[in-house]
């Protein structure tokens, strides 16, 4: 990221669903809290509400149907070629529910991050809230990590946690976690946009120093410690 042109970080967002994390990024950028420009929102679902949010904000959208391609690799090759034409500095997976082909991913190493609703390495994949409850966990949370070929397994950047209440079900747990997810993603993107955080090989580096453990969202919900 250090050799990119001066100015706001150019961000492409991938989303498969409602786009609440996308909206959090849009709101933070619009208010001046986040020095980014969202240049493209892409989805594997033409009817994803995330695309409507982007259109409402005047942002270019892209929707490709994976069922129109013979293989997953063909879909990903086309998707990433189209995204590359928008020249983003960073890709943010924000509720994007597809595994990405390693060959398509490789050129973007260190320039693509994901937000996942669990305290990784616990509960990669889907249905994380229900799985956390079923496992009897005392806390649950969200993680932001650099994306690798391993499902939800790339180097961790930061996490946020909430205590699981005895009365929680999967829906209430998800609802309580979501505001923290938004704050976590904004804080991580902010560090990248300000050239403070990079991926060096397999190591996440903050202000020139490798992280010994993932950052944690501060008590105020606004900063990372």
Q: Is residue 143 part of a domain?
A: yes
What's the CATH number where 85 sits?
3.40.50.170
Q: Is residue 221 part of a domain?
A: no
Residue 4 confidence (pLDDT) above 70: no
Q: Is residue 3 part of a domain?
A: no
Concerning whether 203 is annotated as a catalytic residue, the answer is no
Q: What is the pTM of this model?
A: 0.95
Residue 47 confidence (pLDDT) above 90: yes
Tokens 């001046």 sit on residue: 32
pLDDT score of 67: 96
pLDDT tens-place string over residues 66-87? 999 999 999 999 999 999 999 9
Return the beta strands (E) in the chain as ranges: 9-14, 36-43, 61-63, 90-94, 112-116, 139-146, 156-163, 197-200, 203-206, 209-210, 215-216
- What torsion, rounded to 10 degrees, do the Cα atoms 16, 111, 140, 208 define? -170
Q: Is residue 184 part of a domain?
A: yes
Residues of the domain holding 121 = 9-216
Residue 2 confidence (pLDDT) above 90: no
Report the number of distinct structural domains present in the chain. Answer: 1
Check residue 173 and report its DSSP letter.
H
CB 58 within 8 A of CB 85: no
Residue 1 confidence (pLDDT) above 70: no
Q: Is residue 225 part of a domain?
A: no
pLDDT score of 6: 75
- The Cα 12–Cα 6 span in angstroms is 17
Task: Check 2, 47, 56, 116 and give the catalytic one.
Answer: 116
Q: Is residue 204 part of a domain?
A: yes
pLDDT tens-place string over residues 106-158? 999 999 999 999 999 999 999 999 999 999 999 999 999 999 999 999 999 99
């Amino acid at each position: 990221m250090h050799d990119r042109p001066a100015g706001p970080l150019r961000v492409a967002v991938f989303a498969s669903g409602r786009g609440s994390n996308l909206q959090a990024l849009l709101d933070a950028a619009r208010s001046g809290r986040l020095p980014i420009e969202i240049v493209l929102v892409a989805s594997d679902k033409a009817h994803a509400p995330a695309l409507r949010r982007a259109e409402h904000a005047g942002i270019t959208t892209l929707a490709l149907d994976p069922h129109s391609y013979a293989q997953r690799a063909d879909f990903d090759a086309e998707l990433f070629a189209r995204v590359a034409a928008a020249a983003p500095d960073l890709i943010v997976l924000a509720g994007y529910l597809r595994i990405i082909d390693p060959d398509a991913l490789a050129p973007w190493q260190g320039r693509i991050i994901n937000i996942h609703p669990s305290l990784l390495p616990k509960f990669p994949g889907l249905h994380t809230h229900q799985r956390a409850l079923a496992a009897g966990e005392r806390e649950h949370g969200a993680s932001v990590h650099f994306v690798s070929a391993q499902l939800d397994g790339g180097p961790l950047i930061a996490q946020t946690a909430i205590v699981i209440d005895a009365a929680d079900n999967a829906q209430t747990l998800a609802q309580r976690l979501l505001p923290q997810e938004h704050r976590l993603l904004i804080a991580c993107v902010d560090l990248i946009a300000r050239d403070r955080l990079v991926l060096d090989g397999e190591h996440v580096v903050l202000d020139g120093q490798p992280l010994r453990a993932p950052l944690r969202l501060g008590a105020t919900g606004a900063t990372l410690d």
